[in-house]
Structure 1
Amino acid sequence: MSSNILFVFEGKRTEEKMVNSLGKYILKESPIIKCAYAGDIYQFYKKISIDEDLDTFNLVKERDSENLDRLKDYNRGDFAEIYFFFDYDGHSSLASKKDDDGNIIKPGDDKIAEILSFFDNETDKGKLYISYPMVEALRHIVDFKTFKELKVKCKGNYCPNKSKCKDIETCEKEPCYKDRVSKESIAHLCNINGYTHETWKNLIKAHLFKMNYIVNDTYEFPDGIESQLTIFTKQLDKYINKQCPKVCVLSAFPIFVYDYYGNEKTKCYVNRTIVSIETKSLLIREIIPSDINVLLSVYSQEENMKYISNGKYDWTIEELRKKYQKVNNSGYPQGYGIFAVVVDGEVIGEAGLFNSYEDDKVLELGYIINEKFWNKGYGTKICKALLDYGFNKLNLEKIVARMHPENIGSIRICEKLNFVKIDVTGAIYYQYEISGL
């Protein structure tokens, strides 16, 4: 079965920016296809309520010409999972208890409870995630220390208690939520394209703490998954169904990450140190999805690969992606793995420390760089940087380097850096080792 994932957003811009940024660092395992419904959750509900057997994939695909174009080569069977991301939007006219003619209809909150129950399986109709009050909640952090208590009014002109409100003039003059977020949020959170590993770690941690606080009254990392319906019910009981309806500010995206990866893996991510080794002339950092095509071009040149393992150079992008996942999914949380080598902003190859011996204190060093960067000293600089990192940051006892006997350049580097050659009976490669102080 296909491993594709379909993300359906309420809007066309902000949500896609957020997921594109998130995909640089976290959502790397499966291809994600993104499109927008371009309508709020109540419009979505209206379509579903007419026909519960409606094919949600085709509903999204046929929504507009842009979706038809994006999804023209796909059908429902091409997606293992479908996720919907919508705003609470309690201020929407369709969330009112009355229609345009003043007739009593089903309240918006009842509609949300119903639609959350309907969209609760990503492998069937799809799974729905809600941001409170809107997608901008992700970056609405004035101060991480006070985020726990951040709540906002959520009903606007459709507040059911409007006639009894003693502060109606102030409520009506409140700025729109998007403007408020822009004015109040920590400055660097406003630039979604500039989010880093560290930014996402902090945001995921803050919103998961907040989710746990909403559901369990405890502001700490949650112990288990909470359903979207449970979160909504708690918002309803504690904040929405009050004289002045409010919601506790909460983003859907960190909760999706938590649900998708589970407790232990998410906890490991938010608590781990991101590997980034910087010297005067180069940067060794964790691989991000946009590096893969560049690294594939390195792997696809026979000259680059002639001393590597069996010399294979007909790699596919899927083979390379799986190689990185196999090594890095277990390695990165421990501080080692395969990293990208960057010079003046350009990825020139890869380098890393690998657990080839099932011993976290003995790692193997290796690198592959594009031929046009050979004989410029980068091999030595890469090895020096990794030796320093391995012994001083990871507290390794020994680092091993294995190479083809004709790889004169790497042999010279090992000799220059005081590696000791080790005789390995029957080996078709040379092995060098160096121990920590």
Structure 2
Amino acid sequence: MGACAFHCLEGKDIYFKSLKIEDAQEIHAYTSDQEVSKFIGWPLMNTLDETREHIATMLKRESAGTHFYASIALKSNQIIIGTAMIFNIDRIANHAEIGYVLHKKYWGKGYGTESVALISAFAFEALNLHKLCASVVDANIGSARILEKNGYELEGRLKDHYFLEKKYYNALLFGKIKA
């Protein structure tokens, strides 16, 4: 199973769909938000063209088979509210890293938790991975809670690992092993 299956995942309130350059305007709504981009590891997208370039880079990585990306959309109105991803896939050790980003208008509504549940189920079942990992900036309490709600355990901490906005932050390392 490949990217196509990842793009077809469906939950109670959200579904995943293929990442497309044509959706750049909706994606730019959160990639251009300082508060959203602060902790996600992507640079702030100041222009729509920067967002288009970023989408093109993600699509190249996906077509190379090294990453999985999907837009997260609401079932109620089909609006794109975020991006889901699986990356750093190691086929020898059978593990990968997961990531997710949501428009701040949709924080605290359970969509992040549902997204991680879909990502995890796909990675364990369709990709038959043994372990999933996620790295979170310690100040990103909401993201840490999302992982914990999905059964991820805090496995470690890297002190002063991130340097964001002229300040050091610790990295929280979470992991989940296939049941």
CA displacement, residues 299-339 of structure 1 (integer Å, 9 cap, x when unaligned):
111222222237x4343333333333333323256484221
Same amino acid, percent of matched pairs: 24
Alignment check: 8 A CA contact 1:291 1:340 kept: no
Moved more, 282-291 or 334-343: 334-343
Residue 371 (structure 1) aligned with residue 104 (structure 2): yes
**TM-score under structure 1 normalisation?**
0.35
**SS of corresponding position for 2:108:** coil
Pair 363,273 (structure 1): closer, same or farther in 2 beyond 3 Å: closer
Pair 337,411 (structure 1): closer, same or farther in 2 beyond 3 Å: same
Match of 1:351 among 70, 84, 98: 84
Residue 432 (structure 1) aligned with residue 174 (structure 2): yes
C-alpha distance in 1 between matches for 2:119 and 2:36: 21
Flag the structure with larger Rg.
Answer: 1
Pairing of 1:159-174 with structure 2 (within 5 A): none
1:401 Cα shift? Answer: 1.0
**Matching residue's letter, 2:17:** R
**SS of corresponding position for 1:278:** coil
Corresponding residue for residue 56 of structure 2:
325
Alignment check: 8 A CA contact 2:19 2:59 kept: no
Residue 299 (structure 1) aligned with residue 41 (structure 2): no
Alignment check: 8 A CA contact 1:285 1:341 kept: yes
Corresponding residue for residue 283 of structure 1:
15
Alignment check: 8 A CA contact 2:72 2:80 kept: yes
Corresponding residue for residue 316 of structure 1:
47
CA displacement, residues 379-401 of structure 1 (integer Å, 9 cap, x when unaligned):
10000011111101111121111
Alignment check: 8 A CA contact 2:21 2:56 kept: no
**SS of corresponding position for 2:28:** helix
Residue 408 (structure 1) aligned with residue 159 (structure 2): no
CA displacement, residues 363-413 of structure 1 (integer Å, 9 cap, x when unaligned):
211111111111111110000011111101111121111111111111112
C-alpha distance in 2 between matches for 1:348 and 1:298: 8
Alignment check: 8 A CA contact 1:307 1:407 kept: yes
**SS of corresponding position for 1:329:** helix
**SS of corresponding position for 1:418:** coil
C-alpha distance in 2 between matches for 1:347 and 1:333: 24
Pairing of 1:109-148 with structure 2 (within 5 A): none
Corresponding residue for residue 198 of structure 1:
none
C-alpha distance in 2 between matches for 1:273 and 1:297: 24
Alignment check: 8 A CA contact 1:401 1:432 kept: yes
**Matching residue's letter, 1:322:** E
Quick check: which one's helix share is greater? 1
C-alpha distance in 1 between matches for 2:95 and 2:59: 17
Pair 432,350 (structure 1): closer, same or farther in 2 beyond 3 Å: same
**Matching residue's letter, 1:289:** I
C-alpha distance in 1 between matches for 2:10 and 2:105: 21
**SS of corresponding position for 1:350:** strand
**TM-score under structure 2 normalisation?**
0.80
Pairing of 1:361-400 with structure 2 (within 5 A): 361-400=94-133
Pair 423,308 (structure 1): closer, same or farther in 2 beyond 3 Å: same
Pair 423,272 (structure 1): closer, same or farther in 2 beyond 3 Å: closer
C-alpha distance in 2 between matches for 1:354 and 1:325: 16
C-alpha distance in 2 between matches for 1:388 and 1:335: 18
Corresponding residue for residue 421 of structure 1:
154
Pairing of 1:85-234 with structure 2 (within 5 A): none
C-alpha distance in 2 between matches for 1:422 and 1:406: 17
Give the RMSD, CA atoms, in angstroms. Answer: 2.4
1:432 Cα shift? Answer: 0.3
Pair 354,324 (structure 1): closer, same or farther in 2 beyond 3 Å: farther
Quick check: which one's strand share is greater? 2
